[in-house]
Amino acid sequence: MFTERVVSGMRPTGALHLGHYHGALKNWVRLQSEHPCLFFVADWHALTTHYDSPEVIGDNVWEMVIDWLAAGIDPQQSVLFIQSRVPEHAELHLLLSMVTPLGWLERVPTYKDQQEKLSDRDLSTYGFLGYPLLQAADILMYRAAWVPVGEDQVPHVEFTREIARRFNHLFGREPGFEDKAREAVKKLGSKRARLYEQMRTRYQEQGDDTALQRGRELLELAQNLSMGDRERLFGYLEGSRRIILAEPQALLTEASRMPGIDGQKMSKSYGNAIAMREDPESVRRKIRTMPTDPARVRRTDPGEPERCPVWQLHLVYSDEATREWVQTGCRSAGIGCLECKQPVIDAILAEQQVFHQRAQPYVDDPSLLRNIVADGCEQARKIAQETMREVREAMGLDLD
Ligand code: TRP
Ligand code: SF4
């Protein structure tokens, strides 16, 4: 799938739970074998809402990276880093802020929603208003094609696209663009150059989106282009400006069906979560005390799985035969609720055993973890510095 880069981040606000695993993380694990992926700890984003409890952030950064590795994120395949260790993110955020209309930020739906939801915190800060712009900087820095996120984050990716478009519109102009672009086309080699011209014409004359897509793929594959020429050719394909910042697309993560131990969506703030690396005894206790169908007061009362949160867990963890056993046994009062819960307990513990195993080396030797992250930060920074060179130049800041 070419070199289409994937970028995503998570805020370090607590131990990750099974909902994170069955939602975002499983998806990341799949993506890392299909794309170059960068995954980062969004510690600055955590500060926008938790500025009054910095210790929460410090503690959770490393634990979260361990959770990622426990889930199967492979540092050989993915670049793992910490946002604040790549200070270029702050610089890009600042530079983008120069051209970001206040109204755009105020209209991002999460702005008012979160202020209302987290009403115990004072979120009328400059940093919180800028949350989506910092996120835009995270994404645009790596010219990401895809951003795997949940539904609530889609407006942020949309906002990122608008910022990229505005930036290119304002700063992608350059004297002699056409001539430079035509020179760059020649560098593609005659066969590719011909195909590129065809796609460009088909897109510009007929608005053919597949031609635009094919043109872009062709450029992704072209190895020997300088960054400037690449930007010109991406821009020339669809217009008359360099495309310095590429518009990403949201890759919607299907909402995980993972219920918490009360049947509501699993969420740390509902207090119904099971952590990825929770202690087995605590998992047993949580599931054993889970509420079931209220109609089953006595062991002999028949129940209805559809009214029982334990059934939701069977839908995630059990095979067809076990589900059949639950349905029949519950409705006929043939099985008791503790009996019914046992396969779920076993399945969760088996899943978590793998997490514990993968995490153990990093728990035993934190320096392993530090090395992975140091290496990831270095790789991320290399890309970030390239982007910043282009951005600074476009904004008149290359003073040497
Ligand atoms: N805002 C995201 C969340 O709360 C986290 C995040 C920060 C992010 N920067 C990002 C996600 C860049 C994707 C890409 O989940
Ligand atoms: Fe729920 Fe299982 Fe008890 Fe039925 S038997 S009420 S599905 S726990």
Ligand 2 proximal residues by C-beta, below 6 Å = 292-293, 296, 303, 305, 308, 310-311, 326, 330, 335, 337, 340-341
Average pLDDT, the chain: 95
250 forms beta bridges with 147
pLDDT over threshold 70, residue 275: yes
364 pLDDT higher than 80: yes
Each residue of 367-399: pLDDT tens digit?
Answer: 999 999 999 999 999 999 999 999 999 999 987
SS3 helix, strand, coil % of the chain, rounded to 5?
60, 5, 30
Ligand nearest to the CA of 303: 2
C-alpha 102/C-alpha 88 separation (Å) is: 22
Q: How far is the CA of 279 from the centre of ligand 2 (A)?
A: 24
Pocket test for ligand 2, best of 330, 341, 345 (most atoms within 8 A of CB): 330
CA quadruple 258, 264, 269, 274: dihedral sign: negative
Give the span between the Cα atoms of 27 and 366, in whole angstroms: 26
CA distance 52 to 291: 36
Contact in structure between 259 and 287 (CB atoms under 8 Å): no
Q: Which domains are assigned to the chain?
A: 6-172+365-394 (3.40.50.620), 177-238 (no CATH), 277-363 (1.10.240.10)
The pLDDT tens digits for 180-234 are: 999 999 999 999 999 999 999 999 988 899 999 999 999 988 888 998 999 999 9
Query: What value does the mean pLDDT take over residues 267-283?
Result: 95
Task: Please tell me the predicted confidence (pLDDT) of residue 13.
Answer: 82
Q: How far away, in angstroms, is 8 Cα from ligand 1 center?
A: 6
Statement: residue 2 has pLDDT above 80: no
Q: Could you tell me if 81 and 371 are in contact, meaning their C-beta atoms sit under 8 angstroms apart?
A: no
Q: Where are the alpha helices (DSSP H) in 172-279?
A: 177-186, 190-206, 209-221, 227-238
pLDDT in tens, 330-351: 999 999 999 999 999 999 999 9
Helices (H), 222-279: 227-238
Mean pLDDT of 129-141: 98
Q: Is the pTM of this model over 0.85?
A: yes
Q: Which atom of ligand 1 is nearest to the CA of 135?
A: 9
pLDDT reported for residue 191: 94
**Test site for ligand 2: of 296, 315, 316, most ligand atoms within 8 A of the Cβ:** 296
Q: Which helix (H) or strand (E) holds 10?
A: strand 6-10
Residue nearest to atom 3 of ligand 1 (CA): 10
Our answer on whether the CB atom of 138 is closer than 6 Å to any ligand 1 atom is yes
* pLDDT at residue 269 greater than cutoff 90: no
